Amino acid sequence: MSVSRRQVLYVIGSSVVIAAAGATAFSMTRTPGAALRPWSAAGTGYADPRMRALSYAILAPNPHNRQPWLVDLSQKSKITLFCDADRRLPETDPFDRQISIGLGCFLELLSMAAASDGYASDVTLFPNGTSEERLDERPVAEITLRRDPLAKAPELFRYVHDRRTNRSLYDTSRPIAPDVLGQLQNASFSGLTIGTTNTEDGLKQLRALTWTGHEIEMLTESTRMESVRLMRIGKSEIQTNPDGIYLGGAMLEALNLVGMLTRETIGDPQSDAFKQGMDMFRGLLNSAMGYVWVVTDSNSRADQIATGRAWLGINLRATALRLALQPLSQTLQEYPEMAFARVEIHKALGAGPGQTVQMLGRLGYADQVPPSPRWGLETRVASS
């Protein structure tokens, strides 16, 4: 749908109304408070140490904010973690690789939170085995919490509340110093390598490749529509389904109200909303001032979980360094239309035969953004 002059004027009119009502006051009413409550509730109000640790774990980064975790607490001192099959991303993540990485982020945050509360966590991955094709109904992990006088909060734990996926424009006048970038590589997981770049050639090549990946994902109907279906536009949709891709704030709500920004317009490659979205995204990609990525020597479920654990650390380290970070997963995805770009990104990042690039993210300096919505912890507990 193309945007008519009248619609533009209407939006401008809405903005005037918003301004007249007091822009600050209006935008404050658009904050989806209930959907953000898990951020302030973490660590509070639970007698059970498992619930205290889980209340942090649900703040983990995860693909499309699907929050695929489901836990069973019916066995004393034990947490059994499952993947909620309905929360996978079959088009963009056909083998549940990224979903598994998100579950790895969850496990790392769970262990950090337990440690900060004086508990060691013994984690057994896939106690009943797993499938490399799709995750199934078998548990992803069993975690036993055990009082440990030596357990203490890891250094990075205090950045949990400030960690974000930052999708804004990064400051292209501020390079990232090599020693800052180097600190993101401070992690040791066997069979896993963390790479970074901030060179002119590296930025040029990766800006171009990540754009190619974005174009492919957005011009392939099945993958585009998977994302479009998961869009939550405006406060009411975000509060009803605090997951997926959230488009909040006063301006986006006004555009939605007048029909300029809807699932239909965003999903239609001929629409102005689609074209403007693509232009905007290109600008964001071109503001990358560095990249960080994770490569594993093989691609087992255990490798994917380890990647998630490492990625959570990278995310928190970036937060500590005041670096903004946004994963850019498109070129790493395994559906046929992406095959060529996937080969190119593996070459560009120096991944050898058998190795898999599991995560790639852009880095830079930008203002802090609000936290993303979460389902409340109780909704993710299967039985207790």
Ligand X SMILES: Cc1cc2nc3c(=O)[nH]c(=O)nc-3n(C[C@H](O)[C@H](O)[C@H](O)COP(=O)(O)O)c2cc1C
User: Which residues contribute to the site for ligand X (CB under 6 A)?
Assistant: 61-65, 98, 101-102, 105, 164-165, 167, 326-330, 372
Q: Which is nearer to ligand X, 130 or 307 (CB)?
A: 307
Q: Which helix (H) or strand (E) holds 123?
A: strand 119-125
CB of 81 to ligand X, least distance (A): 16
At 154, give phi and psi (nearest 5°).
-65, 155
CB of 244 to ligand X, least distance (A): 8
Q: Which is nearer to ligand X, 82 or 246 (CB)?
A: 246
Q: Which is nearer to ligand X, 62 or 197 (CB)?
A: 62
Q: Which is nearer to ligand X, 119 or 211 (CB)?
A: 211
| Residue 77, Ramachandran bin (φ over 0: left; ψ between -120 and 50: alpha; else beta) | left
**Whats the size of the chain, residue-wise?**
384
CB of 362 to ligand X, least distance (A): 9
CB of 236 to ligand X, least distance (A): 19
CB of 379 to ligand X, least distance (A): 16
State the distance between the two ends of the chain, measured CA to CA, in whole angstroms. Answer: 49
Alpha helices in the chain (DSSP H): 5-21, 23-29, 33-41, 49-57, 97-116, 178-183, 200-219, 221-229, 234-240, 250-257, 263-267, 272-286, 301-320, 339-348
Q: Which is nearer to ligand X, 234 or 373 (CB)?
A: 373
Give the separation between CA 9 and CA 122, rounded to whole angstroms. Answer: 60
Q: Measuring CA to CA, which residue among 219, 241, 217, 246 is closest to residue 231?
A: 246
Q: Which is nearer to ligand X, 62 or 121 (CB)?
A: 62
Give the separation between CA 237 and CA 341, rounded to whole angstroms. Answer: 34
Output the residue with the shortest Cβ distance to ligand X. Answer: 61
CB of 80 to ligand X, least distance (A): 21
